[in-house]
Amino acid sequence: MNPSPTSSAIASASSAIGDTIGKKIGEAIIRSGSKILDKAKVSLEVGFRPYLEKNYARCRYYKTLLDPYEPCDLEATYINVKLHLKGRTAAEIVEDTKLINRFLDGEKFVVTGLAGCGKSMLMKSAVLRTYGSSNSLPLFFELRKLNGLKNVDLVEQIHEDCSQDGKEVSFGQFKLALRSGLFALILDGFDEIEYDQRKDISEQIIEFTTNYPQCPIIISSRPDNDVFGSWSEFKVFEVEKFDKRQTLALIDKAKYDEGVRKRFKEALEDRLFKTHGSFLQSPLLTIIMMFTFEEFAEIPTKMHAFYARAFDTLFQKHDADKDQFVRKIRTGLSREDFKLTLSCFCAISYLAEKFSFNADELNKFVGEGINYAKNVSPNVEPSSVDFIQDLRDAVCLIQEDGLNFVFVHRSFQEYFTAVFLDKVHESRIKALGDRLATRFNDDVLPMSLDMSREKMEQNWLIPNLDFYIDFLGSRTGRKNTATVFKGLLGQPYIFRERIYEKKESKDRIQFTFTDLPSETLGPLEIICVTEPKLVGAAFLIKSVRQLTVENARRVLLKEQYARRKSYATWRNLLQPIADNRQPPTIRFPITAADDWWLNELGFDETFDELASILTVIKRDVERRVENRRKLLDDLIG
């Protein structure tokens, strides 16, 4: 087990990196040959050195659920991950070290993966690698810091964040340094940006690549194909699930009691790799499983039950190094009342799309959570101060992150929001569930459906199935294909993607969406994810997934459509283009007059098929509801 780094060791490592900072600024000036940048050298070094030293320490040393009091050293504990290029075969797998090298050579990447797969650790590893083996200096920025801000300028916010310890660097000097290639930009957590801001930030990121072509950039996020498909400058990689070797290495490097780690590994080899293999492919779930195993020896198979057991463990966690010392709960709340209050806090902050809090915000949301919980259980009367203290020190679900507070992992906020929904009165489930569905890449509603299937099916699933069957089906009132398309997917960007195979290039047509109408699409996305008969949002655009330019010309550029709206736009998009020219991207403002090409591309049939599948799902759900009713009637007699 790796020893904890001391405060002096952290300070020493941070200070040592300062020598690298000055050297790289000098090298950037030499490369650029800019007299203006040369004059800015002192300002850059003095202005950014405190931030870069602090940034280095923050990325290298981190705290975990296993020990929230002493930091771990990423250099000693990091487990290398593998990634594959989205949309390609599984054989095209790259090591994280090679991906980072390509990033530092100037390629632009989006790294996607599910909660707890190690994306943020990979981003922090990229920071350390940039210090050690690149001409650039890393600017690590967490995109959730943009939440709550109005009229956000991404570059200005990054400048403000990294120059707050010293104002010697002007915004003009900062932009000059970006253009010179001095900095490599590492943006963590695109999925944590408030939904209403994502379109604007997406456009700013695309603009950034044009304005600062010499600046390497890598971004992490949960999967969001509809957004990243339009980022033509970026390759999108997905983190591979852990294999057995990586999982065992993670346990070996974990800063935890050696005896517990040994017994856990024995249980893995004996049975858990067979019974819980999917859990063990996630680094986060593996760590939670280990400390849950310490207390209970058995691991639940349902995800919501797994998090419930993890909370039980945290609530009365024994510190293995302190002779079974049990941490005191300052609030004096019972486990159930604490869980109730925590679920209220999580749901209220989640609905506000708050995943990071300053001290005032944390106090505000905790206070609102306590106030709601008081109206459910009269035993809930803690102060916000005591409850926050328990969140930090007793259950260790909130930790400090610079000047802010964050969940130790956002999946806990999602789980407790699902717990909150489980307790809501049936009359409010539809409205609240639809609000939660706007963040359809998260796990709140899938967990809710698993936790309270009977209540969720009756009060949320069936009403939404009724809506979509009516909205989609040609036999139940669909006005036209364009209305449905725009209602579900908004206004698309349509572009030609150039594919190179065996030294030959071939163009195909791709649809991407940066402004999805989440209130209409969200519940359908959840249904797609939770019902095996559907396969995510890709179902809606599967009819054009493999649409080549040749096929598009054949079906769309017909003489009979020459006078139709958008015909000229399609003709321009589909005209021959030389290999050395970038294919165009076109924004289509969809109206009813676009029915002709949507139908030619098969969207009318796609919507009919989707309506039919939803009808089958509804029939299955209603059959289960009726069977439960009959069984209950028999029990009552």
Please identify which residue in the block is written with the tokens 């403002």: 589
Detail the DSSP E strand segments found in 470-595. Answer: 493-501, 504-512, 585-587
Same domain, yes or no: 183 and 287:
no
Domain that holds residue 257: 244-326
Residue 427, domain member (yes or no)? no
Domain final residue pick, 267, 293, 326: 326
Q: What is the pLDDT of residue 533?
A: 59
Give the pLDDT confidence of 544-584 residue by residue, as tens digits. 556 788 888 999 999 999 999 889 989 988 888 766 666 67
Whether 295 contacts 262, CB under 8 Å? no
Tokens of 334: 């019972």
Report the number of distinct structural domains present in the chain: 3
Q: What is the identity of the amino acid at 133?
A: S
Sign (positive or negative) of CA dihedral 623, 629, 635, 637: negative
Q: 45 pLDDT exceeds 60? A: no
Which tops the pLDDT comparison, 586 or 59? Answer: 59
Same domain, yes or no: 74 and 196:
yes
Name the band, by pLDDT with cuts 50, 70 and 90, for residue 432: very high
Same domain, yes or no: 257 and 161:
no
Tokens of 131: 């210090």
Q: Which run of H or E residues covers position 454?
A: helix 453-456
Whether 287 contacts 66, CB under 8 Å? yes
Q: 302 pLDDT exceeds 50? A: yes
Judged by average pLDDT, the poorest of 205-209, 313-317, 447-451, 515-519 is 313-317
C-alpha span between 441 and 410 (Å, rounded): 13
Give the pLDDT confidence of 30-41 residue by residue, as tens digits. 455 455 445 444
Residue 587, domain member (yes or no)? yes
Instruction: Give the 3-state DSSP-derived string for 113-159, with helices as H, strands as E and coil as C.
Output: CCCCCCHHHHHHHHHHHHHHHCCCEEEEEEHHHHCCCCCCCHHHHHH
Residue 111, domain member (yes or no)? yes
Whether 446 contacts 479, CB under 8 Å? no
Name the band, by pLDDT with cuts 50, 70 and 90, for residue 298: confident
Grouping H, G, I as helix, E, B as strand and the rest as coil, residue 562 is coil
Same domain, yes or no: 229 and 274:
no
Please identify which residue in the block is written with the tokens 């020990």: 67
Residue 355, domain member (yes or no)? no
User: Which pTM does this prediction carry?
Assistant: 0.69
Same domain, yes or no: 268 and 199:
no
Phi, psi of 145 (to 5 degrees): -65, -15
Same domain, yes or no: 271 and 229:
no
Same domain, yes or no: 29 and 137:
yes
Q: What is the CATH number of the domain that holds 192?
A: 3.40.50.300
C-alpha span between 155 and 313 (Å, rounded): 43
Whether 140 contacts 123, CB under 8 Å? yes
Instruction: Give the 3-state DSSP-derived string for 311-326, with helices as H, strands as E and coil as C.
Output: HHHHHCCEECCCCCEE
The count of residues in the chain is 637
Please state, rounded to an integer, the average pLDDT across all residues of the chain. 82
Which tops the pLDDT comparison, 1 or 232? Answer: 232
Residue 380, domain member (yes or no)? no
Instruction: Give the 3-state DSSP-derived string for 273-304, with helices as H, strands as E and coil as C.
Output: HHHCCCHHHCHHHHHHHHHHHHHHCCCCCCHH
Q: How many CB atoms are located within 10 Å of the residue 537 CB?
A: 22
Residue 449, domain member (yes or no)? yes
Q: 128 pLDDT exceeds 80? A: yes
| Burial of 214 (C-beta count, 10 Å sphere; 0-12/13-18/19+) | middle
Q: What is the pLDDT of residue 43?
A: 52
Residue 424, domain member (yes or no)? no
Whether 488 contacts 520, CB under 8 Å? yes
Same domain, yes or no: 262 and 169:
no
How do the residues of the chain divide into helix, strand and coil, expressed in percent and rounded to 5? 60, 10, 30
Cα 117 to Cα 123, 246, 270: the distances in Å are: 12, 12, 24
- Spacing of C-alpha 587 from chain mean position: 26
Q: List, in order, residues 6 or more apart from 463 with CB less than 8 Å away.
A: 430
Same domain, yes or no: 180 and 111:
yes
Same domain, yes or no: 189 and 310:
no
Same domain, yes or no: 442 and 551:
yes
Which tops the pLDDT comparison, 229 or 433? Answer: 433
Residue 205, domain member (yes or no)? yes
C-alpha span between 341 and 338 (Å, rounded): 5
395-399 average pLDDT score: 83
Judged by average pLDDT, the poorest of 73-87, 367-381, 486-500 is 486-500
Domain final residue pick, 207, 239, 271: 239
Q: 368 pLDDT exceeds 90? A: yes
Whether 31 contacts 41, CB under 8 Å? no
Name the band, by pLDDT with cuts 50, 70 and 90, for residue 473: confident
Domain final residue pick, 326, 346, 373: 326
Whether 194 contacts 353, CB under 8 Å? yes
Please identify which residue in the block is written with the tokens 């280095």: 56
Q: 493 pLDDT exceeds 90? A: no
Same domain, yes or no: 451 and 576:
yes
As a whole-number percent, the residues of the chain with pLDDT over 70 amount to 83
Which tops the pLDDT comparison, 537 or 271? Answer: 271
Give the pLDDT confidence of 47-106 residue by residue, as tens digits. 677 777 888 888 898 888 777 778 889 999 999 999 998 765 455 789 999 999 999 888
Q: List, in order, residues 6 or more apart from 395 with CB less than 8 Å away.
A: 311, 314, 315, 317, 338, 342
Q: List, in order, residues 6 or more apart from 235 with CB less than 8 Å away.
A: 85, 107, 108, 109, 110
